Structure 1
Amino acid sequence: MQLRSGRECPLFLCMGLTAMSDSADLGIRKLTEFIAPVLDEMGFELIDVEYVSEHGRWVLRIYADKEGGITLDDCAHVSREVGVLIDVKDIIKNEYVLEVSSPGLNRPLKKEKDFLWAVGKKIKVRTTAVVNGHRRFTGYLKKFEENVLHIKIDNDVFMLPFKDIEKANVVYEFNG
């Protein structure tokens, strides 16, 4: 679901969440803190937020889910509600496209509860620090306890501290 929103203004004049912002991560955190309770009140869980420039336009991408999965109508509902609130609160100063989507088959793993949910599943992880000579791991999450991921790759188990996870997602496996 896409919705074009925001107002036009030169990027170099915009204050707030813009391309020129030195604190893009802070902007994403503020957006996440704003959006999460809104979605929660609507009965959805906020999985991830991205604010990226693609093909000369800014895209605010919201990934949401709910028990039993999110539908296209749910995405449209979230898009309408969140889009209006962002515009009324004037959170994003420049023109943007709002996309609301399910997290998909390769669901991102961000929070501790995401990793607890993913135990037993195949995951792909990129770390900020080198662990046993590697920063990228693809294997089965055997357990997640005391803020450490235990990933089995072939016959080895790698222990990755949660604090060192840069990016992680489920790797969907097709059966058949």
Structure 2
Amino acid sequence: MLADLTAKAAIDRRLAEIVSPTIEDMGFELVRIRLMSGKRTTLQIMTERPDGGIEVEDCAKISRAVSAILDVEDPISGEFNLEVSSPGIDRPLTRLKDFERYEGYEVKIDASELIDGRRRFKGVLQGVEDNEVLIEIQEGTIGLDFDLIADAKLVLTDELIAESLAQRKKQGLIQEEDLGEFDDIETDTSDLDEETS
């Protein structure tokens, strides 16, 4: 797990080691964990079922269980807010399996160092080969070493929204008659034509 983007900073990796067993015992997977400082320190945990999706009630249960573990382990000095949430539709991609699962979808990827003179890439995921994430950009399909990826997330598109709604319907989380309310959703595609640099 430490070789993925679930937890980048040392404290995040330590926190992941503490909370992951509890989250997994409850039948969920840790997608990302971040300890963020600001006016008030916040521990953000993104989690989901192995087949995708999570409900508000699940987040509340996970929050209570994780809070109990953190009270005992006490890895964070001072007070903090705990946020447990789903990754969302335009989710971060943090594990190699995420890049495989969302093959064919648009993605933004930031590299930790320059690759062929650039750090940012936007294109369509073409899967994974060994330890490389394949992405089709304007110049063609390239492979990015997973270890050089600093951040990656899906681009919110109509196709992605439709897939998410279909998944929720399949899981019985929404009904056919509820789908009509999503017909008028417009996605923000203004950044799709941005020049990547």
State the TM-score, normalized to the length of structure 1.
0.81
- Once residues 36 and 118 of structure 1 are traced to their aligned partners in structure 2, the CA distance between those partners, rounded to angstroms, is 23
1:46-125 alignment runs, 5 A limit: 46-54=30-38, 56-66=39-49, 67-125=51-109
- By how many angstroms is 1:68 displaced? 4.9
Q: Larger strand proportion, structure 1 or 2?
A: 1
- Once residues 159 and 116 of structure 1 are traced to their aligned partners in structure 2, the CA distance between those partners, rounded to angstroms, is 13
2:54 is paired with a residue whose SS is coil
- Once residues 140 and 45 of structure 1 are traced to their aligned partners in structure 2, the CA distance between those partners, rounded to angstroms, is 25
Query: Once superposed, which parts of structure 1, at least 4 consecutive aligned residues long, lie more than 4 Å away?
Result: none
User: What residue is the counterpart of 1:147 in the other structure?
Assistant: 131
User: What residue is the counterpart of 1:130 in the other structure?
Assistant: 114
- Once residues 152 and 111 of structure 1 are traced to their aligned partners in structure 2, the CA distance between those partners, rounded to angstroms, is 19
For these two proteins, the number of residue pairs brought into alignment is: 152
Across the aligned residues of Structure 1 and Structure 2, the Cα RMSD in angstroms comes to 1.6
- By how many angstroms is 1:58 displaced? 0.3
Letter in 2 for 1:118: Y
User: What residue is the counterpart of 2:145 in the other structure?
Assistant: 161
- Once residues 41 and 79 of structure 2 are traced to their aligned partners in structure 1, the CA distance between those partners, rounded to angstroms, is 7
Q: Larger helix proportion, structure 1 or 2?
A: 2
- By how many angstroms is 1:158 displaced? 2.1
Letter in 2 for 1:63: M
1:83 is paired with a residue whose SS is helix
- By how many angstroms is 1:122 displaced? 1.0
- Once residues 150 and 113 of structure 1 are traced to their aligned partners in structure 2, the CA distance between those partners, rounded to angstroms, is 13
Q: Residues 19 and 69 of structure 2 are in contact (CA less than 8 Å); yes or no, is this contact kept in structure 1?
A: no
User: What residue is the counterpart of 1:170 in the other structure?
Assistant: 154
Letter in 1 for 2:98: D
- Structure 2, unmatched stretches of 5+, are 1-7, 160-185, 187-197
- Once residues 127 and 155 of structure 1 are traced to their aligned partners in structure 2, the CA distance between those partners, rounded to angstroms, is 17
Letter in 2 for 1:61: Q
